[in-house]
Amino acid sequence: MLLTLDLVGIFVFAISGGLVAVRNQLDIVGVVVLAMATGLGGGVIRDVVIGAVPPPAVKDWWYLLVPVVGGLVTFWWHPAVGRLERVINVFDAFGLGLFCVAGALKAHEYGLGPVPAAALGMVTGVGGGIIRDLLVGRVPVIFRKGQLYAIPALAGAAVASTGAELGLAGELVVGPAAAVTIGWRLLALNRGWTAPLPRT
């Protein structure tokens, strides 16, 4: 069940990476690599940092197959996929919630305290998108005006890592923590909320 959700999240992230690649006129290699980097990058960074190597995303070939398929689907049917962007944004919010919570819980399992675990949960959720943007030479969208993405990600991860620190069972924590990220992100999308900018 959790594996399925995880793979769905990777698939959606992979499509977002593939679309960015297509729009930057990359070839099939670029599309597939961006799809993989976006789908798997956040989890691999987390695993390397906490010492969980080789990461499951590398050991288990399901984790490699899913983003490759996401990339190839985008490569062949990108006009249709691109029109689904609003739907993809919604799925992306679910993927984000799941990744942040799963990342925070895994970091907790590896002995990190609640603050580092929340930070690594956020990295799990947003790391793939940062790598995607770097690979096409643009400033990561999560750093720019017009998005509220990383803050909901951190909030859900913080709820998850606090719950784990308090000794609550994982099943009790996952739902509410992911709901914080997903709900806040969907509201931000719907209402056009953005993160504050520095005074000029």
The minimum distance between CB 170 and a copy of itself, in angstroms, equals: 20
Nearest CB to a copy of itself, comparing residues 113 and 175? 113
The minimum distance between CB 38 and a copy of itself, in angstroms, equals: 13
**CB half-sphere exposure, 147, CA atoms < 13 A:** 15
Using alpha carbons, list the distances in angstroms from residue 199 to 33, 134, 139, 143: 38, 26, 20, 16
d(C-alpha 165, C-alpha 35), whole Å: 34
The minimum distance between CB 126 and a copy of itself, in angstroms, equals: 9
The residues of the shown chain that bind a copy of itself, judged by CB under 8 A, are 21-22, 24-31, 33-34, 44, 48-51, 53-55, 58-61, 64-65, 75-76, 78-79, 110-113, 115-116, 119-120, 130, 134-140, 142-145, 147, 149-151, 194-199
The answer to whether the beta carbons of residues 89 and 80 sit under 8 Å apart is no
The answer to whether the beta carbons of residues 95 and 8 sit under 8 Å apart is yes
Nearest CB to a copy of itself, comparing residues 154 and 178? 154
Nearest CB to a copy of itself, comparing residues 55 and 170? 55
The minimum distance between CB 45 and a copy of itself, in angstroms, equals: 10
d(C-alpha 116, C-alpha 91), whole Å: 27
